[in-house]
Amino acid sequence: MQKRQIALVTGASKGIGAAIARELAADGFHVWLNYRSDRQAAQQVAEQVETAGGECTPLPFDVADAQATATALEPLLKEQVPFVLVNNAGFARDGIMAMMSQSDWENVLAVHLNGFFNVTRLVVARMLKKRQGRIINIVSTSGESGVAGQVNYSAAKAGLIGATRSLAAEVGRRNILVNAVSPGFIATDMTEELPLERILPLIPLGRIGEPEEVSGLVGFLCSERASYITGQVFAVNGGIHI
């Protein structure tokens, strides 16, 4: 029996990350499911994957902590190299910049940018030796258009877009494809408290998206059908930013 290829998905215990984990498992990947603290939610996703006939290995560590990331991943990477890495871990701490705390600025950038660096540096070094791989960074419309009250989050996501393009240029010759997927308003914990009555009129499709509409694109980018696509940013936003 052929061994399954591995997909490492960060921040995969809920929302878009969980949908991506389920999608890639359904596509035949053995999912390394990273989460920071919500063990119960991560276990539920792992059970969903396994019930559907997939394979899932939960990996608890904080991507913003370089030492914790190395401790969790290096022993595994000595034995196996993921074909797919999805950098999805992230969170928002919204507020106008004049009143933003130092910690809200630093923590948001730490998870998105340091987290990307801490995980990707370890994985891409092994992908280079294997001469194959797919890296998908989950960014945001906020990083493309800018959103008032999200200077920290917009800066972090815009930084990831720049990193996506630069890394794609670095590793393309080794058959490693690097792309970004940019969701707009998606039905997750992050959008539950938003004033939808004000947001929906701004979206040409008139609704917010579902996590599976993001994960479906990620699945495509990890497939052989996407073998000539790299360095791109793909929006899943209902037309709110064109």
Query: Which residues are part of the catalytic machinery?
Result: 153
d(CA 88, CA 78): 23
* pLDDT tens sequence across 77-134: 999 999 999 999 999 999 999 999 999 999 999 999 999 999 999 999 999 999 999 9
Q: Could you tell me the domains of the chain?
A: 6-236 (3.40.50.720)
d(CA 217, CA 3): 24
* pLDDT tens sequence across 189-242: 888 888 989 999 999 999 999 999 999 999 999 999 999 999 999 999 999 999
pLDDT of the residue at 53: 86
Query: Would you say the pTM of this structure is higher than 0.95?
Result: yes
**Predicted confidence band at 1 (pLDDT cuts at 50, 70, 90)?**
low
DSSP state, 209? B
Q: What is the 3-state secondary structure (H, E, C) of 149-198?
A: CCHHHHHHHHHHHHHHHHHHHHHHHHCEEEEEEEECCECCHHHCCCCHHH
